[in-house]
A and B are shown apart, each in its own frame.
Chain A
Amino acid sequence: EAQVTQNPRYLITVTGKKLTVTCSQNMNHEYMSWYRQDPGLGLRQIYYSMNVEVTDKGDVPEGYKVSRKEKRNFPLILESPSPNQTSLYFCASSLSPTGTQETQYFGPGTRLLVL
């Protein structure tokens, strides 16, 4: 089954404790992206990747890191989480390296609470 998976789905942590949210897709998609969703703000892009070893900042990259060592995986890293990073996070992928001119397939979301 074609899908985007994320882990964990729910995470409670404390300020400053490094964490990684994994994202994996099995559709051989070139483009992958991370969004955060906050009430009243919609979905905002954090980072994106056009292909292996090619990543770039989105609109709200501060406090986040990403890597794309393999085509199928695009982990989101919070080196020192802070309470303002409490949010719902979505990973997404699409076929083309130009990414956003076609259907984005979203993962199930990761709800993060930073205390």
Chain B
Amino acid sequence: GENVEQHPSTLSVQEGDSAVIKCTYSDSASNYFPWYKQELGKRPQLIIDIRSNVGEKKDQRIAVTLNKTAKHFSLHITETQPEDSAVYFCAASGFYGGATNKLIFGTGTLLAVQP
């Protein structure tokens, strides 16, 4: 089945610096790639997503890139702020066989933004 690997597991940056989190997936049937942010003690919330017909998507300080050939996708956060500190999860979704599709999550990256 599909497997999503996420790196790094922890990331510490200075306020104002950029942060990059990378994910790889194994199944070429994956065609939807969301990113979720989970603050301490809170529920995961979607922050950005990208579909396989698009190579890059940007929303203010966050952007996601997708390389279908290499099966890589990445989250980029620019001008980081302390409120960006959280655990970030990548995920991949596709029809892997069966009547519906699955959402497979990476193992998460703890981002700490130092003021």
Q: Give residues in A with beta carbon < 8 Å to B.
A: 33, 35, 40-45, 48, 50, 56, 58-59, 90, 97-104, 106-109
Offer 16 A-B interface pairs, CB within 8 angstroms, sorted by A: A35-B105, A42-B6, A43-B89, A44-B105, A45-B102, A45-B103, A56-B100, A59-B1, A59-B102, A90-B44, A98-B100, A99-B101, A101-B93, A104-B34, A104-B44, A108-B42
Decide if B107 touches A107 in the complex (CB within 8 Å): no
Decide if A43 touches B100 in the complex (CB within 8 Å): no
In whole angstroms, how far apart are the Cα atoms of A104 and B89 in the complex?
13
Chain A: CB-nearest residue to B9: A40
In whole angstroms, how far apart are the Cα atoms of A24 and B63 in the complex?
32
Q: B29 near A: Cβ within 8 Å?
A: no
Decide if B102 touches A107 in the complex (CB within 8 Å): no
Q: Give residues in B with beta carbon < 8 Å to A.
A: 1, 6, 9, 31-32, 34, 36, 42-46, 49, 89, 93, 98-108
Decide if B107 touches A104 in the complex (CB within 8 Å): no
The total of interchain contacts (Cβ-Cβ below 8 angstroms) comes to: 61
A103 / chain B contacts, CB cutoff of 8 Å: 34, 46, 49
Listed from nearest, the 10 A-B pairs whose CB atoms lie closest are: A100-B103, A106-B43, A100-B93, A43-B105, A42-B107, A42-B105, A103-B46, A101-B32, A100-B101, A106-B44
Chain A: CB-nearest residue to B2: A59
Decide if B101 touches A101 in the complex (CB within 8 Å): yes
A98 / chain B contacts, CB cutoff of 8 Å: 100-101
Q: Would you give the shortest CB distance from A41 to chain B, in whole angstroms?
A: 6
B93 / chain A contacts, CB cutoff of 8 Å: 100-101
In whole angstroms, how far apart are the Cα atoms of A90 and B57 in the complex?
28
Decide if B103 touches A50 in the complex (CB within 8 Å): no
Decide if B102 touches A41 in the complex (CB within 8 Å): no
